[in-house]
Structure 1
Amino acid sequence: MIRVKLFTASALLVLFVFLGLGTIVARKIKEASDYTVAGRKAGLSGVAGVIMGALIGGASTVGTAQMAYEYGLSAWWFTLGGGIGCLILGWGFASPLRSSGVVTIPEFLKRHYGRSVSMLSMVASSVGTYISVVAQFLSGVALLQTVFPFPSFVASIGVACLILGFLCLGGLKSYSVIGKAKIAMLFLILTVSVLLGMGKGVTPSWLYHNIGNKTLFSPFGFGVGKGLGAFLSMIVGIFCTQIYIQGVFAASNPDTARKGTLLAGILIPPLGLMGIYIGLFMRTAGVSIVPSQALPMFIRLYFPPILGGIFWAGILITVVGAAAGLSFGIATNLVQDFLKALPYMKMDEKRALFMSRAAVIFIVLSAAYMGELFSGDMILQWSYLSMSLRGAGTFFPFIVALLFPLQLSPCWTLCSAGGGLLAVLIAPFIFTNVPPLFLGLLVSASFSGLGICLRR
């Protein structure tokens, strides 16, 4: 009983500290630009903090350990693809994006192709990102239920309250501060966890020789097509997710945007490898657990109660922070690209700020319900589906606008975006052995290529 009380008290203390960080920053929010792009003053660590704060969440921690417990090294595709996607984004695209001076991806597309393409992109991105928010709730519920005997509905509401407390007041400013703090804490948690496991003699070599199923050590343990599809979905999703690009838009200058994105790309993949180690460790630990609880149970079983509570809270903050960032990205799209465009909507700074906060509340509460409805599902599978929907129709029009401006007409762009999205939706019913994203990107690329050739 004393161990449980110490664990709970230390966890609550850490949560209150992070909530306090967001509240302090929130007092400095005066207008919508502070809320949506942090006043365009983010430094290198601030840009990386926004990107990693949203990308490294439940899927990268709880979900990676869950999938590693069942499928082994195949769980690395999420963080490996995310890291490489950030490197590509930073290497050739972050600087011109920051120089564009826009706030959202649909706004950028509207400049090049018109309103129809931007609206289609906004809908696809928002739906796909919303699915990823639900995945964060699946992780958060799994975390809470390792400590508190809550039913899934109560756990979902608890996660929702934390998300709103972290984000709703401070927007991207508070999110950048919290993102940097939570990533530093996550590196500490996972590094100490891996060192603890190895200190018990469970080295990677020991795992390989003592786990009979050697397919767990193949990156294609659940199939070559699924592995490559997951990898590609992450790279494409990085380019087509509002909150990741919002970190670029918030940079103080184009060079900072580039360096911050590259920093995120370097730091992300090692986190996935450490999560995989913990998942495989728990597979050999001799305890019966639900796979989604591999990481939180490791923390609870192998650390002293005070330290365990701090680390458990750190993982929960990671999950909550990612859900907050993704929700914030959807809200930004809804306000900037939809509500502001309505002819009867007079959107001054104060009203835009209010509408952004209201949209966040609606998104979070509805995702809490969906998280409760689908509790127990494989977290990473939701995340891969999310990335596919975001990227299938938007990726090639977005890349063409950056690399070959004025080379693709609005009509052909609409065919590229709509065809790619439609292909992803119908592919599972026609080509059951082909990852839907492959077909979606093929259709979208074909329309884009044909449109460029005809224009030339």
Structure 2
Amino acid sequence: MNPAVAVVAVVVVSVATAVIGFYGLRISRTTGDFYVASRTVRPWWNASAIGGEYLSAASFLGVAGLVLLSGTDALWFPVGYTAGYLMLLLFVAAPLRRSGAYTIPDFTEARLDSRAVRRVTSLVVVVVGWLYIVPQLHGAALTIRITTGLPAWVGSLAVVIVVCLTVVAGGMRSITFVQAFQFWLKLTALAVPVLFIVFTLTGSGTAAVAPAAVNPTGMAPAGAYQNISLLVALLFGTLGLPHVLVRFYTNPDGSSARRTTLIVLGLLSVFYLFPTVYGLAGRMFAPELARSGQADAVVLLLPGHLIGGTAGDLLSALVVAGAFAAFLSTTSGLVVSLAGVISQDVLGGGVRGFRLAAVISAVVPLGFAVTTDSLALAGSVGLVFAFTASTVCPVLLLGIWWRGLTDTGAIAGMVTGAVLCGGAMVCGAVLGAGGIPFWLAQPAAWTVPAAFAVMVLVSRATKDRIPRTMPRVMTRLHTPERPLVTER
């Protein structure tokens, strides 16, 4: 595509994001506005914002790339991403909203009456957030390099600058407007080119499937273990994503949180149709992208490849704008959630502390992103889900639904999950994709049960540490509602 057109697309979406973010500054005044939008976000608006931040680089680019590479095996990703929200609806959304907390560490401290649990949870949340931001910056780097020819670091730096400006300007209330806009931009950016591609291929009478393109890479299908482990990571990992969970604190009440989740399920189901179509079309008509190592760029390159000309350039520009919106929206949500944790636990809270924490939250992963190479986007995000499923998810589920959880058990379970899953991730980075055993490449199938088991067993061994506040807290989690944590 024309590099100048791609640059214009990136600039337009960045400026639109900044303008909407600064609009949020006009109505962001209190600490509650910055942390949880004063708990006034309605279901449709909140669902659009959740879709904006949840549909990340892995969803916009990575799913299509995986479908191109491995066909139907890759469909576990959109299935798992969407089904994870069903688990949120069933087990987490309403009780978490009733907790009245600003952050996940707020919740664990109030539930277990322990500062030590809060500190460990805060550390885990920050690690999860930074691990998740890095693939977004890698995706921005890939997009800028492929479509404009500029150095890859320009894309990562541009995302961090725009995100810092919008988050510092208005916090959660500002980001809610931004992410809702970005979800509908992403959906449009995928849907419109797909329709043009379908009409073009139908009108030209192009054969539906070329025999040689059935398996363009020659990759062997994933085994049953890999698929099961991936599904465990995606289902349970969704329950522990800090930037998603903080969204439920912005609903007015628990019933609004449940309605928000139902709407999100519908929005995700529609969205994931389009990356799947891109991946299948790539297998049929552009298999050379897989063989040349550009699988993650299939969404960016396919409109120009199949349509060409001015129309192809314009459609490619729309896709680039949608991709950049994906990086911005997910990174914004992560930075907001991390800023809430860091500002309260390290910087003393308040609006000034939140703003400083937001800058720290964005700059640290930028350093990692510009000094590391991008992995397959969906695969790298899948490992983050596995880490989250092995750490944050157990303490949330057991904290909400099991009265026997203790602070010692919670800490032991989170540390176990972090060490096991983190160790598997480090081994994968050291050994490389070709040298790592399959059970380390997809560790969730054993790290998640291990974390739950340790948390339960240690809690049973330390029954005397069940907090005296447990009955009152559990009652508040499961009945209509009164804030558990006093707003700062």
TM-score, normalised with respect to structure 1: 0.87
Match of 1:238 in 2: 238
Distance of 2:22 and 2:209 partners within structure 1: 44
Distance apart, 1:243 and its partner CA: 1.3
Letter in 2 for 1:70: L
Letter in 1 for 2:299: L
Letter in 1 for 2:208: W
Shift in CA distance, 7/330, structure 1 to aligned 2, threshold 3 Å? closer
Match of 2:453 in 1: 446
2:213 maps to which of 211, 214, 222: 211
Secondary structure in structure 1 of the residue aligned to 2:422: helix
Secondary structure in structure 2 of the residue aligned to 1:150: coil
1:194·1:277 contact (CA, 8 Å) conserved in 2? yes
Shift in CA distance, 10/89, structure 1 to aligned 2, threshold 3 Å? closer
Distance of 2:91 and 2:448 partners within structure 1: 20
Matches within 5 A, 1:41-120: 41-113=40-112, 114-120=114-120
Shift in CA distance, 204/364, structure 1 to aligned 2, threshold 3 Å? farther
1:94·1:258 contact (CA, 8 Å) conserved in 2? yes
Match of 1:174 in 2: 174
Distance of 2:296 and 2:86 partners within structure 1: 29
Matches within 5 A, 1:272-421: 272-286=272-286, 288=289, 290-301=294-305, 302=307, 303-336=311-344, 338-339=345-346, 345=348, 347=349, 352-405=350-403, 407-421=404-418
Moved more, 90-99 or 275-284: 275-284
Match of 1:260 in 2: 260
1:35·1:173 contact (CA, 8 Å) conserved in 2? yes
Distance of 1:144 and 1:59 partners within structure 2: 16
Distance of 1:204 and 1:123 partners within structure 2: 54
Letter in 1 for 2:456: G
2:162·2:328 contact (CA, 8 Å) conserved in 1? yes
Unpaired runs of 5+ residues, structure 2, are 429-435, 465-488
Letter in 1 for 2:437: T
Across the two proteins, how many residue pairs are aligned to each other?
442
Distance of 2:304 and 2:130 partners within structure 1: 30
Across the aligned residues of Structure 1 and Structure 2, the Cα RMSD in angstroms comes to 2.9
Moved more, 8-17 or 47-56: 8-17
Distance apart, 1:213 and its partner CA: 1.9
Moved more, 149-158 or 313-322: 149-158
Secondary structure in structure 2 of the residue aligned to 1:101: coil
Match of 1:132 in 2: 132
- 1:183-207 Cα offsets, whole Å, 9 max, x none, are 1222222222222232233799934
1:10·1:310 contact (CA, 8 Å) conserved in 2? yes
Letter in 2 for 1:355: G
2:178·2:329 contact (CA, 8 Å) conserved in 1? yes
Distance apart, 1:58 and its partner CA: 0.8
Shift in CA distance, 294/99, structure 1 to aligned 2, threshold 3 Å? same
Distance of 1:426 and 1:369 partners within structure 2: 22
1:128·1:385 contact (CA, 8 Å) conserved in 2? no
Distance apart, 1:148 and its partner CA: 1.9
Letter in 2 for 1:432: P
Secondary structure in structure 2 of the residue aligned to 1:29: coil
Unpaired runs of 5+ residues, structure 1, are none
1:22·1:169 contact (CA, 8 Å) conserved in 2? yes
Distance of 1:269 and 1:208 partners within structure 2: 28
Distance apart, 1:226 and its partner CA: 2.5
1:433 maps to which of 427, 431, 438: 438
Shift in CA distance, 276/204, structure 1 to aligned 2, threshold 3 Å? farther
Shift in CA distance, 207/232, structure 1 to aligned 2, threshold 3 Å? farther
Distance apart, 1:102 and its partner CA: 0.7
Distance apart, 1:116 and its partner CA: 1.9
Distance apart, 1:173 and its partner CA: 1.2
Distance of 2:371 and 2:76 partners within structure 1: 26
Shift in CA distance, 209/186, structure 1 to aligned 2, threshold 3 Å? farther
Match of 1:164 in 2: 164
Distance apart, 1:307 and its partner CA: 4.7
Distance of 2:459 and 2:408 partners within structure 1: 11
1:53·1:176 contact (CA, 8 Å) conserved in 2? no
Letter in 2 for 1:391: A
- 1:80-110 Cα offsets, whole Å, 9 max, x none, are 2221111211233211111111111111111
1:422·1:440 contact (CA, 8 Å) conserved in 2? no
2:68·2:282 contact (CA, 8 Å) conserved in 1? yes
Distance of 2:207 and 2:42 partners within structure 1: 41
- 1:209-232 Cα offsets, whole Å, 9 max, x none, are 56232999x9x9333322222222
Distance apart, 1:38 and its partner CA: 0.6
Secondary structure in structure 2 of the residue aligned to 1:188: helix
Distance apart, 1:5 and its partner CA: 4.7
Letter in 2 for 1:63: G
Secondary structure in structure 2 of the residue aligned to 1:362: helix
Moved more, 281-290 or 260-269: 281-290
Distance of 2:233 and 2:43 partners within structure 1: 26
2:210·2:284 contact (CA, 8 Å) conserved in 1? no
Distance apart, 1:141 and its partner CA: 1.0
1:427·1:439 contact (CA, 8 Å) conserved in 2? no
Shift in CA distance, 136/205, structure 1 to aligned 2, threshold 3 Å? farther
Match of 2:24 in 1: 25
Shift in CA distance, 389/9, structure 1 to aligned 2, threshold 3 Å? closer
Shift in CA distance, 387/4, structure 1 to aligned 2, threshold 3 Å? closer
